[in-house]
Structure formats: structure tokens, C-alpha cells
Structure 1
Amino acid sequence: MITLKPGDVEAGGVGLRNHLILAAGVLGTTGASLSRMLGLGAGGVVTKSIGPAPNAGHHGPCLIRTDCGLLNAMGLPNPSKNFVEELETLKGEPVVVSIFGGNPEEFREVAGWFAGQAQAFELNVSCPHAEGYGAAIGTDPETVRECTRAVASYGLPVWVKLTPNVTDITTIGKAAEKGGASAIVAVNTVRAMRISTDLRRPVLGHKSGGLSGKAIFPIAVKCVWDLYEACSIPIIGCGGVSTADNVVEMMMAGAQAVEMGSAVVDDVHVFERIKQDLYAKDGIAADEIVGAAHHD
């Protein structure tokens, strides 16, 4: 397998310790948990998505295991502005703050709370189970462009996390780029549901949710591939990454770094495990493999 030279990484305007980033929504609810993941080998961390008002989220069950991944409908639970306190001990660390809103003004408001703490913002315009937020606005190119522009006005890097639940993801990627995005994160969860045949009802309290994990890795690779062909800004791959070879595959599709979520649920030491396989002193420079599969 291809190995990479170890060392600091720059992706989407953010300095990272390595190519592996903790994805939003997994162990990102407190400053302590974010610090723990950095200590366990993450090259950077993304917080839980924070919105304009406190939210308890959907009623349970909110998360179930399937035979091919995780199915969740959390409903974007978050403490809103109170989360600012959680980041006070993480100044200078590679922390990307995930934010959401229902319009450009709300995105800008939430970003303003963290403008002095975040290394970058990740715009959640892709959650598939939050009415009025996430994918509800992230399927419209004009709205994505304007929300991106509103947050980019703070002068910090802006990553825009896209939904795969669209006909053509490149139209949304191009809109984010036009709005001033520093990077695209591809992708969030895939709309999905399961039904209990014993109870004759959906297993999730919200009925439907989003599928993550190994089952969506090929979908994410295709989205990264298409965005690399259509856009000129960096791409962060996300969706089902669980091995060093997955990381290399994502990079060959066009990603400069990757985010991991479900793999962390299965193994909190996954960052260190992958790093052992991914890096070697005689490895090649990452630039040599980013987008390599596109070249004849």
C-alpha cells in the first residue's frame, strides 16, 4: 500500500497535525472531548454543529446500528451560544467550528460568536433530518452561495459540508466556491430509514434519518471525484473512511484530507491505528496522490 511522508498538513486554509480529522457530531460536544480526540491522534477536530438557538433535538431512538453502518436522526441538538465556553481551553488548536442556520443572517450571527476562537468554520448545509436547516437549504445553490459569503466575511477559512442527496452535487460545490469557500467537505449522511417488522413502525423516533459508515464510502468517493473535476478549491473527503487505504483512495479521488465519524464510534483509537499504516519515513509526498486517479 502507498504510504505518505509524515508531517504537518495544510488543507482548506487550516493547519492540521495529519490528514485525519474528527467529523462533526462525534465526540465533539465538549471542549474536553475535542481535546481528548486531538490527544488520541486526530490531526484536527470539528465540533458538534452549533445553531442560532438551543435545541434538544429529536426524541429517541436517535441512533441505531445497522448491518452496514449507523443510522441517526439526532435533530441537531446543541447549546447554541453557550458552546463558546467549551472552546476557551482550545485556543490555537486545529478546531473547526461546525455551524448551521436557516438563512445567511443566522449563519453570520452564529459565526460571530466563535470568530475569535475557531481556526475555521464548517457550514452544515447538509444534515438530512432537521426541518428548516441543513439539507433543507443546502440543496439550493443560491442559498448555499449566500450563506457561505455571509460567513466568509469574517476572514476565516470556510468549509462547506455538502449533502449527497442531490441530483448533481457539483452545482452546490460551485455555489460554495463562488461564495468564497476555502474548501468543500464531501459528504454528509445519506437519507435512509429502517422499519421494525415486529413493531410495524420506523425504528427511529424521527422515522427517517441519515446513514453513515462503510456503506456510504463508495458514494463519498464518487462525490469527491465529481467535485474535483468541477471545482478548484480543496476537498475534504468524508463518509465511511475506516482504513489507511480508504484515506489514500479518497485522496486519489481528489481529497486533500479526510474526516472520520462512524469509525471513531467503533474504535476511539482509530486515528492512531490508521496513522501507523498511513505514514512512513520513506513515504511519498501527499501532493503526488491528490487527484492521481484523474490523470491518464
Structure 2
Amino acid sequence: MTNISVKLPGLNLKNPIMPASGTFGFGDVPAAKKFDLNELGALVIKTTTPKARVGNPQPQIAVLDNGVLNSVGLTNPGVDQVVSDKLPELKKSYPTLPLIASVGGESEEGYVEVATKLANSNLVDALEINFSCPNVAQGGMTFGVHPELVESLTAKIKAAVNVPIYIKLTPNVTSTTEIARAAEAGGADGLAMINTVTGMRIDLKTRKPLLGNNIGGYSGSSIKPIALYQINQVRQATNLPIIGMGGIESAKDVVEFMLAGANAVEVGTAHFKDALACPHIARDLPAVLEELGVEDINDLVNQVEFN
């Protein structure tokens, strides 16, 4: 029988499939009610910040022919409400489902505060640290573009929490590998990559950008080659587990990501086409692996054979 289970720090996954942060909210959005979330390997909740955020100006999402631009702006009720209301309700409904909480902040203190409160709730199994948030002290530049900040902040969060931490890497840097090494040096237990690619589209009639915030994060199948390349580059530089994402729509995509070096995957934009993308992919995996003669999905990791 084909094995599709995956073990990562803090996570025993029945399959390597999980929805990307924000996709299913806190398990309380309509999309999350369409199937039994226990079919997932794990659930990644929406990024949580120290205080409630209403997000960026509308429109926040532009669905394009070949992907999606979004500038939601980390809309969430704030960490205290997430810990007191959202997580207990989610855990009550899905007591055995592994949960990964996504951490955001606008300062180092904010990141540590959110990470500590989420970890101390004893309701999450791991943290995904979203370093794509703006760093107020650095003039609004994202934390994730500065290796020294990534290393120091990773170390501070690691020292403050009792669950594994996965650093989410932005692709909008000269060297993703350099940032990955910094995260590892700071004590990260794993990596998640890639986050969205910064982009923009313009309405020809109004001559204004499609998004209310003008620019946003681009995701979908078009960024898959970028994700595969960056994951493979990082895999050569570190042995840390990698949760890969960036244009995954099928079980074959999952295999490709694992061949490139990912250990598990997150699925996001595919849900605009198929609300049941995650369970569909998970159900298709065994047959695809059997067709390829693979008995254990973990044997695929970093097995790409270069010319």
C-alpha cells in the first residue's frame, strides 16, 4: 500500500496537503465548510497580528486569467481573540487535525508577542512565521529581505516558544538561499516557500491599478516554475524541512514539488478554480504515485535528476 503520510517537526501528517494561510480563515469561512477538514494533512490558519486589522483598501483581490493578485492586508481579529475564540472553536470541531498558526507583526516585539501567545495556548502544533510583513523600524521594508533581521528575529521567536517554527520565505529577494541560511542559523525548525510574487495590473479605461492598494501578491500556476527553482536552490543549501507552495493544482504538481526538494505542500490559489482542491489532490495522490512506481511519497524528496 502506498504511503502518503509525512512526519515533520511537530507535525504528523496523514498526507502532505494543507491549505495555504488565509485560504480557509480560521476554519470558519464558507470554503472550510465544504468538506471534512480531517482529510487534510494539516490546517494553516490565517495570519494573526498583535491587534485586529481591517486590511487594505478594496478591491483586495483581482482574479486574472492566469493567477490571482491579492492585497488583503492580513485582515484578522488580533491574537487575543484568535486564542480565546477562534482556536478553541476550531480545536473543538477538529481535535486531532494538526494546526499551524501563521504569525505576523509590524515590529520584532509584535512577532514575539503573537508567537508566544499562540504557542502558550497549547492549541497549535507549529508556527509559520510570515516575514513578508512590513518592518516599521526599517521604513516599511519587509523583514524577510534582510538576512540579519531574519536570523535575529527567528532566534528571538525560537527562544520564546515551545513549538516548532517554520519561516515563510519571500521570493522577492536577490537570494532566497541567503535568507534560508539566516533562518537556519536563527534556529528555525523548517521553511515554508514561496510566498507571493509582488505584482500589479492596470485597468486600461480608468488607468488605475486593479487593486485598491495598487500592488499586491501574485499567485497561481504561473509562479510554479519560480517556486520549483527557488525550492530546489534552497534544498541544496539546507537540510531543513521545506513546505512548498506556489501554483499547486494537482497531485502531479505535488510530486514535482517534492522532487524539487519540498517535504510537504500548501495549496492556495487553486481554490478559486476548485473549492475542494485539497481533498481532490489528496485523494488523487496514491494513484499517481502507484503509476510512477513510488511506494513511499517521502522517497521523492530532492530526487530530481539534472541533465
TM-score, normalization by structure 1:
0.91
- Partner in structure 1 of residue 19 of structure 2: 22
Distance 1:268 1:6, change over 3 A: farther
Q: Is the 8 A contact 2:5 2:297 kept in 1?
A: no
**Greater CA deviation, 274-283 or 159-168?**
274-283
- Partner in structure 2 of residue 198 of structure 1: 205
Cα offsets for 1:117-173 (capped at 9, x unmatched): 11000000125xx57499611100111112211222212110111000001000110
Distance 1:126 1:236, change over 3 A: same
Q: Does 2:96 correspond to 1:97? A: no
Counting only pairs closer than 5 Å after superposition, residues 155-174 of structure 1 correspond to structure 2 as 155-174=162-181
RMSD: 2.3
- Partner in structure 1 of residue 66 of structure 2: 68
SS at match of 2:178: helix
Q: Structure 1 counterpart of 2:50, which letter?
A: P
- The offset of 1:39, in angstroms, is 2.4
- The offset of 1:208, in angstroms, is 0.5
**Greater CA deviation, 190-199 or 80-89?**
80-89
- The offset of 1:38, in angstroms, is 5.2
- Partner in structure 2 of residue 289 of structure 1: 300
Distance 1:11 1:95, change over 3 A: same
Distance 1:20 1:118, change over 3 A: same
Q: Structure 2 counterpart of 1:68, which letter?
A: N
Counting only pairs closer than 5 Å after superposition, residues 247-266 of structure 1 correspond to structure 2 as 247-266=254-273
In 1, Cα distance between equivalents of 2:9 and 2:261: 13
Distance 1:69 1:35, change over 3 A: closer
Q: Is the 8 A contact 1:177 1:233 kept in 2?
A: yes
Q: Is the 8 A contact 2:231 2:244 kept in 1?
A: yes
In 2, Cα distance between equivalents of 1:70 and 1:119: 29
Cα offsets for 1:31-80 (capped at 9, x unmatched): 57696465273211111100111111111010011111000011111111
In 1, Cα distance between equivalents of 2:196 and 2:158: 25
Q: Does 2:132 correspond to 1:126? A: yes
- The offset of 1:288, in angstroms, is 1.7
- The offset of 1:267, in angstroms, is 1.1
Equivalent in 137, 148, 153 of residue 143 of structure 2 = 137
Q: Structure 1 counterpart of 2:64, which letter?
A: T
SS at match of 2:229: helix
In 1, Cα distance between equivalents of 2:59 and 2:269: 17
- The offset of 1:114, in angstroms, is 1.3
SS at match of 1:288: helix
- Partner in structure 2 of residue 58 of structure 1: 56
- Partner in structure 2 of residue 146 of structure 1: 152
**Greater CA deviation, 98-107 or 246-255?**
98-107
Q: Is the 8 A contact 2:14 2:41 kept in 1?
A: yes
In 2, Cα distance between equivalents of 1:290 and 1:86: 34
SS at match of 1:21: strand
Distance 1:45 1:34, change over 3 A: farther
Q: Structure 1 counterpart of 2:151, which letter?
A: R
Identity over the aligned pairs, expressed in percent?
A: 35
Equivalent in 1, 13, 19 of residue 10 of structure 2 = 13
Q: Structure 2 counterpart of 1:93, which letter?
A: L
In 1, Cα distance between equivalents of 2:260 and 2:117: 35
In 2, Cα distance between equivalents of 1:175 and 1:234: 15
- The offset of 1:200, in angstroms, is 1.0
- Partner in structure 1 of residue 229 of structure 2: 222
What residue ranges of structure 2 are gaps of 5+ in the alignment? none
- The offset of 1:7, in angstroms, is 4.7
- The offset of 1:83, in angstroms, is 1.2
Q: Does 2:82 correspond to 1:83? A: yes
- The offset of 1:30, in angstroms, is 4.4
Distance 1:256 1:187, change over 3 A: same
Distance 1:216 1:40, change over 3 A: farther
Q: Structure 2 counterpart of 1:174, which letter?
A: R
TM-score, normalization by structure 2:
0.88
SS at match of 2:129: strand
SS at match of 1:102: coil
Q: Structure 2 counterpart of 1:48, which letter?
A: K
